Structure 1
Amino acid sequence: MCPSPLLDIPLRGVKYLLLSFFLYIALLMPAQAIHYFMLSPYSVVMDVKMLDFFRHMGTATLISVIVLLIASLFIRHAWCRYLCPYGALMGVVSLLSPFKIRRNAESCIDCGKCAKNCPSRIPVDKLIQVRTVECTGCMTCVESCPVASTLTFSLQKPAANKKAFALSGWLMTLLILGIMFAVIGYAMYAGVWQSPGTGGIVPTLNSTSANDWPLN
């Protein structure tokens, strides 16, 4: 099920409003404030607080979760399409990236599988190059294409007589993992990977209830 364009288009804007809100907060926060926040007791236990939040949900939270679950039964990828700020960020990054989903019209057999399987419902089968903020670069369309090298995540349009430099799903995965572990390794080497106060707070958490955990 897909809502009408009159409803679908404004609903898609909600996730960008949420992204703008979080970016506004992040950009306004001074670097020194970020440092002190990461060392604060609240920062140390915030993941545990999030677990406790879902284990002891209030009425408003429970209703919101139920509404999202019901919406997902009738609207494909309802959360990702309308509400996820991280998905909105991925779309913006994908739009700015030189790599794009590109289609070779000469080898395309017009089966429509790419558009049918696209989580964002982009008409990939009608485009030569996917250039929209709704594309997150998930490469589902590339994996769905039955004709090799017809859809590529590449720097240039694929041609029948020339192989474009393209990123496969496996190569993209390895690249992302490499960057992630490089950042973690650098943080550990620089001595900023683990908060210095963690060791002293964990025993306190084990001996107190969730309601007694530090909030500031």
Structure 2
Amino acid sequence: MFDGVLTSPGYGNAEDKALYVLSSLAVSPQQKEAIERATVGQTKNALWTAYRKKRVTASNFGLVLKAVKRNSYPPSLFKTLLGQYNLKQGAHACDWGILHEPKAKQEYTERTGVTIQERGVFLSDKGLLGGSPDGMVSDDCIIEVKCPYAARTKTNLQAAERKDFFLELDEVTGLLKLKQTHNHWHQIQGNLHLTGANNCHLVVWTPLDLVILLIHKDPA
């Protein structure tokens, strides 16, 4: 894993340590497939945590892209990427999501008749990037489930009235859509590119309703 690379004799002896790290993290197509299969179960699987460690994962792509755009890289960004954040911060929202994700998946399957296939972590060829969709519903479609704590007493439509919510009302269609400026958008796009899928079902669950949005891969 990443920590093993940094403590290896090769790293200590390497003239170009950055190049050594890059070459050490690179994975073959066969390795990528094996790692994905070995990390099914995600948070319940210790290997999933190990392979994500010190890699830039899809859930943080939005933070990185915004930092690059601003040309500003605050210490908080690196703490987040390195997993050095305060575990108590946002704990209620995280616990709420973990608790209700199975219910959201069940309601998705009941509504669509589609079975969700659990998947592990997908790595980029260079091994620096990783992504873990909440599952796949076909070879060309991933699923991402969100159970927003901020909407725990609202419908999605009601929650979308808040400017800080990740869904908004499309003025043309009158339907809810995902804000393309939100980190969830970048997370989904990252997972689409890493998995090779072209579509994503974004499932947004609250105790009052369930919304399923189709998100297409952005070729950019």
TM-score by length of 1: 0.27
Give 1 or 2: higher helix fraction.
1
TM-score by length of 2: 0.27
From the CA coordinates, give the structure whose radius of gyration is larger.
1
